Amino acid sequence: MLTLLLDIITTAAILFIVSAGLLAIFGVLKIVNFAHGAWLTVGAYCAVVTAGLGLNPWLALPLAFVAGAVLGALTERLIVRPLYARPLDAILATWGLSIVIGQLITLWFGRDVQFTVSLLSGTVDIFGTAYSLYRLFALAAALVIGIGVTFVLEGTRLGLSARAIIMNEALARALGLDTARIRLVTFMIGTGLTALAGVLLTPLTSVDPNMGLAWLIGAFMLVMVAGSSFGALAVACLLFGGAQVIVSTFISPILGGITIAVLSALVLRISSKGFSRV
Amino acid sequence: MSDTLTASPRPFAQRRALILGGLAVAALALVLLGPLFLDRFSLNVLTRSMIYAILAITLDLLWGFTGILTFGQAAFFGIGAYATAMLLTHVGSSPALIGGALVLAILVPMILGIAVGWLSFYYGSTPIYATVISLVFPIVVTQLVYSGGTLTGSSSGLVGYMGLPFGLEGFFRLSGLCLVLVAIGALVFVRSDAGRVLTAIRDNETRCAYLGLNTQRIKIVLTTVLAGVAGLAGFLYANASGVVAPENTGFVFGTELVVWTALGGRGTILGPILGTIGIDYLSANLSGELPFLWQLIIGALFVVMIIFLPNGLAALVARFTRRGRNEVVTGGGPTLTVSAATHHTQQGGGPLLSISKLEKSYGSHKVLEDITLDVAPGELVSLVGPNGAGKTTMMRCLTDGKERSGGTVRIAGQDIAGMTPDRIVALGVGRKFQVASVFESLTVADCLRMARSALDTPSCIATAHDLGLPQAAVEILQLTGLDRLLATEVSLLSHGQKQSLELAMVVSLEPRLILLDEPTAGLTKAERTTIGGILRKLTAEMGFAAILVEHDLDFVRDISSRIVVLHQGRLVLDGSVDEVVNSEIVKTIYSGGENA
């Protein structure tokens, strides 16, 4: 019972980590970054490179953030910027980009599964139940990311500008905010966070050129339901992640895999705003 | 860019039919004779490519023509393929069962198409939501296939069933024949009057709804029919390849279809066919030698194409046609005729529009409060007031039954509570928007025909030679010179011409009540006088009722039969022109009466 509860909370935490970067971009830019999966993969391969160089595995985290942000800057400048007025085309262009990134990674590293050094291994004892230390660490990481993002949004100039753009972009521009720069920075933060999430995923899944795809749809659906609010994302991760764990445990893991997508679609059908009013 | 030229008197339709016929004969010859000079490998690959091309056509009708980006066609295809394979595997194989499989492969996707359509398209649904559903659907289908055990063959799929007893060459010819038939069907349909409705929905769905078209239902029907066609393609695939696998139903396959369609050219029929066959055939040939590099090139090409050439390679070709070169065409197009009124001819007693205690609020902020007003046939009521008085909000509340927060609105005695705009239009209401709301990529004639679609059901195969419009609409066209530009694309018209066109479209609905939001904004003095004359004639002589939102008080004084003043969401004055223009209130509101 306790294991189930811990599974639900840590699954929600992992979903939150994986979706946060996508939400940052969608919330402010109203663009769905369909290359999200590719950025997770890029992050995971940063861990592979770090391990290959014999460096401390924790160094992969800052490395991935920087790599993700730099690549994100290029993407925003070259691919996303011409498409702000065509959001459906932006989905397609970023999907095309993910094909390119996936193939580049394949050409460089081969298509085989890569192994990475585990960041944290072993279990800890919680009220007599042995539980994976790493999953608990993921919970802490999700909290750090959540608090960090909240701090940026509520406590910095950039966050204030971003919130202004979320509420009324035309007015924000009329008031002299440099919306182009804010978009660029937001996109960089989003892709940086996503690559970081890719590193954090390495102990949990195998690393191969297509690993990101499996996470894309879940993250996409959660973000659609969350709108532009990180609080709503946390709620969605807890509810739908919980449902996924329960369905996987008691019914079938295969059906568990579609729980998030189906529930999100239904919630959006009933209320097009999803959980964004939370 | 825009040289004016006169259209040839010979109707395009005949020449087009000839070209289409020639193309069909050539294509048929290719698919029938192909097996004589193609090797086994090419036959195999091209059979598959042609089946995929059928799918690309269905995707293109949804995405390129109607503007619905969908990844779901892969799932309908997969369901058709699995329905065939499962029946033939588990029940047995006989000619009757193969026939049954064909029926199932079309019917099951259609039934699911209704469900997906109902989920995706409802009043107020967003385009991105339909895309979301189209993502979820193939994922659900794939997972169900995986969890189907021996019934679906799970991850290894189904193989070894006995399908149609054709050889390699037979399947090549069958697939080719089906592709040619589907392509001709699609070509005829998109050029028909009904086919133009799809483009109209893509260009401006709101306008479609305010022309009385139930766009949600049109999209659901389209999804359903195309799900059936995708299922047919699945049936062909299951027979021709002899194997079905979970990948055939999946979201990734759905994205591949989008890539092929985009590269070939969305919004054309031939583009996606050539794109699909070309890329799939090249992929099969090149993936052996440079597997990842080839995918890389396709991906990069796709990104570049979406950004710089969103209409694909076909758009490059289209630049050589007259419409692609953006030319104003004088003359040509259908023949204008005056049609007798078919709609709303009987006049009931009582007021046409009756508003009582209308209220609209956003949270605690009231934008409209306690508005009570009756309008009778023949009246031209001007709604005036400063910016933010609630004039446009009030117009919205009269044309969308879900807008208002309180009170009742009756049109010809009927309460419009909860009604969608298309149903209110059917009651006899026409609305002209503040910014001209027309269909940019259609011709003037097509725009007007769209306005008649709800009354005269358009043909799915033909383009009508005549364009029958009410007398008043024809007069507007003649007064503004639009009658000579019927074959010109709307995006080439001036601002004033678009405003007049929209007015003609609204009048073509044969409404009893016309709502006009600043119809003269941005027009020249001459255009303004013309529109004023038309409005007076429509109301005083022809018995329409009109409500006009207007800032230009001189214009209002000239044409109105009555003026209503709104201020801060309340109705402060309702009286004859003289009463209102000379009242103290109006002078105060307009700060010292600069206009009055």
Residue of chain A whose alpha carbon sits nearest to that of B129: A268
Where chain A has pLDDT below 70, the residues are 276-278
CB contact under 8 A, A92 and B262: yes
CB contact under 8 A, B306 and A92: yes
pLDDT, residue B346, reads 53
Residue B392 within a domain = yes
pLDDT, residue B5, reads 45
Nearest CB partner across the interface for B255, out of A95, A102, A252: A95
Residue ending a domain, among B198, B229, B251, is B251
Least confident of A16-30, A88-102, B231-245, B362-376: B362-376
Same domain membership, residue B236 and residue B382: no
Residue of chain A whose alpha carbon sits nearest to that of B63: A88
Residue ending a domain, among B202, B231, B251, is B251
- B34-66 residue pLDDT tens: 888 889 899 999 999 999 999 999 999 999 999
CB contact under 8 A, A103 and B133: no
Task: Give the domain A2-113+133-270 fold.
Answer: ABC transporter involved in vitamin B12 uptake, BtuC (1.10.3470)
> Residue B222 pLDDT > 90, yes or no?
yes
Beta strands in B142-202, from DSSP E residues, in sequence order: 158-159
Whether B596 contacts chain A with CB within 8 A: no
Chain B residues with CB under 8 Å of A86 CB are 310
Mean pLDDT, residues B415-425: 88
Residue of chain B whose alpha carbon sits nearest to that of A107: B292
**Nearest 10 degrees: CA dihedral of B253, B256, B257, B263?**
180
SS (H, E, C) B344-379: CCCCCCCCCEEEEEEEEEECCEEEEEEEEEEECCCC
Rounded to an integer, what distance in angstroms lies between the CA atom of residue A24 and that of residue A117? 29
Buried b (16+ CB within 10 A) or exposed e, A244-276: bbebbeeeeebbbbbbbbbbbbebbbeebebbb
Residue B314 within a domain = no
Residue ending a domain, among B251, B271, B296, is B251
Mean pLDDT, residues B301-324: 76
Chain B residues with CB under 8 Å of A95 CB are 255
CA distance B133 to chain A (A): 7
**Count of domains for chain B:** 2
Whether B590 contacts chain A with CB within 8 A: no
Rounded to an integer, what distance in angstroms lies between the CA atom of residue A168 and that of residue A174? 10
Of the two residues B414 and B316, the one the predictor is more confident about is B414
Chain B residues with CB under 8 Å of A224 CB are 128, 132
Rounded to an integer, what distance in angstroms lies between the CA atom of residue B248 and that of residue B156? 12
Cβ B138 vs Cβ B72: under 8 Å:
yes
> Residue B593 pLDDT > 60, yes or no?
no
Cβ A254 vs Cβ B143: under 8 Å:
yes
Chain B residues with CB under 8 Å of A264 CB are 132, 136
Residue B567: CATH number of its domain: 3.40.50.300
Least confident of B217-226, B240-249, B324-333, B494-503: B324-333
Mean pLDDT, residues B93-99: 90
> Residue B320 pLDDT > 70, yes or no?
no
Q: What is the DSSP letter of B164?
A: -
Rounded to an integer, what distance in angstroms lies between the CA atom of residue B23 and that of residue B26? 5
Residue B359 within a domain = no
Mean pLDDT, residues B143-165: 87
CA distance A22 to chain B (A): 15
Chain B residues with CB under 8 Å of A254 CB are 143, 146-147
Structure tokens at B407: 């009170």
Rounded to an integer, what distance in angstroms lies between the CA atom of residue A5 and that of residue A269? 29
Chain A residues with CB under 8 Å of B295 CB are 99, 102-103
pLDDT, residue B13, reads 65
Chain A residues with CB under 8 Å of B307 CB are 79, 82-83, 89, 93
Q: What's the ipTM?
A: 0.88
Of the two residues B11 and B464, the one the predictor is more confident about is B464
CB contact under 8 A, A86 and B252: no
Whether B151 contacts chain A with CB within 8 A: no
Chain A residues with CB under 8 Å of B256 CB are none
Rounded to an integer, what distance in angstroms lies between the CA atom of residue A158 and that of residue A148? 13
Q: How confident is the model at residue B396 (pLDDT cuts 50, 70, 90)?
A: confident
Cβ A230 vs Cβ A150: under 8 Å:
yes
Q: Which residues pair with B575 in a beta bridge?
A: B563
C-alpha distances in Å from residue B441, one per residue of A124, A185, B328, B469, B508: 65, 37, 13, 21, 20
A211-226 and A179-201 are packed helices; what angle lies between their axes, rounded to 10 degrees? Answer: 130
Whether B59 contacts chain A with CB within 8 A: no
pLDDT, residue B322, reads 52
Whether B143 contacts chain A with CB within 8 A: yes
Cβ B567 vs Cβ B371: under 8 Å:
no
Rounded to an integer, what distance in angstroms lies between the CA atom of residue B53 and that of residue B228? 15
- B165-194 residue pLDDT tens: 888 899 999 999 999 999 999 999 998 888
CB contact under 8 A, A79 and B302: no
CA distance B142 to chain A (A): 10
Cα B51 to its chain centre, rounded Å, is 26
Nearest CB partner across the interface for A103, out of B126, B299, B307: B299
- Residue B36: domain span: 19-251
How much is the CA Rg of chain B, to the nearest whole Å?
A: 28
Q: What are the domain boundaries of chain A?
A: 2-113+133-270
Q: How confident is the model at residue B150 (pLDDT cuts 50, 70, 90)?
A: confident
pLDDT, residue B364, reads 79
pLDDT, residue B596, reads 36
The SS3 assignment for B192 reads coil
Residue B350 within a domain = no
